[in-house]
Structure 1
């Protein structure tokens, strides 16, 4: 009797829903199924996540080839985990980014280290041995791992909504397709996801860091962080005056309400989260690729790099910059949190206690004790909105296909608007820093925060990676515009590089005068336009304080 052979032809998938219409869960199920269905499902999985994975890989690496290799390895490892029946503890997008990070960490111990971004290497050196499956830490303080634990404890659909809708702000139609719901239901689900995350975070934070006494204040903390609740709780205020755990919890809950995307990205991704939010092409997708003969994603598979996108502002759905939010009065408890959190946040235990020089640290909301609500004035160093006439980008011709999927060959060199700050939220590194005055403070758009190098040591350097080559015609260096900052001269040499290795002098050592009465700012206009990707400021003297200091670095094309 003849036994028929298995049918692996296209007829085996006849009548099945196309991969593009599947939710993430359904795509994962197909990857684990028969080969005929697994191959196109694997391609769809790659198509959905490739732009974001490459965006983060670019931050970790020096060049496009290294970024492509990191992304390829991340997909290879992820598909292997899927076929073994392993589920992502968060979302698969998050898991892929962590795999990029872990692969880059493994490179740091061999000859491939030279292909990594200097700021990433500096973070690894400061961190020591990163914990497996945990993101690299953020800032100079221990990372509050309770946020990651809380995220992992939520239902799968809730995690998907928080990542794709809140962190990456993808279009509602795409988020709904990812999590398998109707777009009309997304607003209600997102609101409930916010509440679930806040409750889960507070519970995880108190369990991880708090005492038995802290647990009794859980409901009072929840009430104190509600914008509509202006009641005072003297008991909670007295407790927070001596409890760093509950003070940090209040500060983190405020940030989750005011800047949920930034807070989540910092807690879940760690290193490079701010730069990733600024550059990730969350609205872009690559065109579907024809299925390969084998469903596996080989380590040597070529990766086509989509063109880099212009960074978008790190705003939440309210459209208000993060550093301008939270001015509303939330009661006396919030005032205590704002005053105490900076002094106690470093006291909390965590998985490891190693600093990171790169990414933006957690900052408590700016709150006042006024009796009425008020709105913050715009930051003085925020560049004006670019006018239409200033943009060199031609008006696109309407086309039925997505414009962002069309890449000319060869790709044109991007020309940023002349009045756009090229440095905002870019990846930075420094020779050293003191306390919590980390390098990222100098590119966070807030002149009240600043970077300060180790005291009594010169020279010191501050380096920024613009992500791609750009013409820099004007540099603006700021110190905090506060009266108690005395006048000073800082001697600075400005250098540029296209690869991060070979440096050339753009402006020789010059003494720059900073006076708080005049805004504490110094403007530099190089003799000729400087085309560079990396820019380095080398500080050799400071007459006002024995250390290199920089509140904000702004770079412009005009």
Structure 2
């Protein structure tokens, strides 16, 4: 209830802020109105449910939201559904950045408002909303750290800020390139696979909770997650192969997948290349992580896979 009243009053409470002439400010006329959170027990908006069987995907809701904005709607139903679906997770992430709950509520609200603005301007999420929203939370917190609101952030977030730029420059470049490959591989996947991967692999939500979001059974979530991880691994390998710096890297890229499937067994030539090439070594590490996640997500695979040396 506190969050609901906070969101409804966001525009009025900020009317005296000196930054009110900025489009991102709550009092600005171009700023979207956040849907008001509703009490538990009312999961549907105008006959459309946020989760469960028959619930529209984030991508479909985004399409409807753009149409509603184009028609001049000021409180689009699609935005309300998206807000219900992702508000709790967004607020939980914001709370890891902020010292106080009410500041985390501000941060989560800002993330939603910026995302709605991006959609109305023709941008925003192209698939699942959750990863996009959490990224906006982090970027907004980074902006806060550069101004007066720095005192609102947790000590852990400040520590991360202090040490993040200290990373080795070469490793930073490699990690950035690898993240780009992973993002490219992720975006190539069907939206349903993207959704189940994010909720099971990143947020580590139980199958029962993800089942209500996707409208399938918990066992169906486990099966879908396994197929999605396999698809992500293949897509990542393909992205790495396309971005390989030279013929030598392309040659060894074809061996990475086979090595990972054998539990990390490598020939001398591949081991030597990984010791010399940071780009391929980082890709190999990512593939091992994905493979471990796949084995964890699929009980059948655990019964047939070779025992781990660890």
Give the TM-score range, shorter chain.
0.5 to 0.7
Listed as ranges, the matches of 1:75-474 within 5 Å are 75-89=112-126, 91-127=128-164, 141-142=171-172, 143=175, 144-145=178-179, 146-172=181-207, 175=210, 178=213, 186-208=221-243, 210-227=245-262, 233-259=267-293, 317=297, 373=307, 376=310
SS at match of 1:216: helix
Preserved contact between residue 32 and residue 38 of structure 1 (Cα < 8 Å)? no
TM-score between the two structures when normalised by the length of structure 1: 0.39
- Which whole-Å CA distance do the structure 1 matches of 2:127 and 2:86 have between them? 15
- Which whole-Å CA distance do the structure 1 matches of 2:164 and 2:127 have between them? 23
Give structure 1 stretches of 5+ with no counterpart.
Answer: 1-15, 129-136, 262-315, 320-324, 330-372, 377-558
| Structure 1 residue 160 displacement after superposition | 1.3
User: Structure 1, residues 227-250: CA drift from partner, whole Å, max 9, x if none?
Assistant: 4796x6343234334333323222
- Which whole-Å CA distance do the structure 1 matches of 2:103 and 2:254 have between them? 49
Structure possessing the higher radius of gyration over alpha carbons: 1
- Which whole-Å CA distance do the structure 2 matches of 1:206 and 1:118 have between them? 40
Preserved contact between residue 60 and residue 117 of structure 1 (Cα < 8 Å)? yes
User: Structure 1, residues 401-426: CA drift from partner, whole Å, max 9, x if none?
Assistant: xxxxxxxxxxxxxxxxxxxxxxxxxx
RMSD: 3.6
Superposition misfits of 4+ residues, deviation over 6 angstroms: 180-184
User: Structure 1, residues 44-68: CA drift from partner, whole Å, max 9, x if none?
Assistant: 2111111111111111111112111
- Which whole-Å CA distance do the structure 2 matches of 1:317 and 1:184 have between them? 11
- Which whole-Å CA distance do the structure 2 matches of 1:209 and 1:122 have between them? 35
Q: Return the structure number with greater strand share.
A: 1
TM-score between the two structures when normalised by the length of structure 2: 0.66
Match of 1:280 in 2: none
Match of 1:379 in 2: none
Distance 1:260 1:190, change over 3 A: closer
User: Structure 1, residues 13-44: CA drift from partner, whole Å, max 9, x if none?
Assistant: xxx75233333233223322336795332222
Preserved contact between residue 244 and residue 250 of structure 2 (Cα < 8 Å)? no
Would you say 1:19 and 2:53 are equivalent positions? no
Preserved contact between residue 57 and residue 67 of structure 1 (Cα < 8 Å)? yes
Q: Return the structure number with greater helix share.
A: 2
Distance 1:260 1:100, change over 3 A: farther
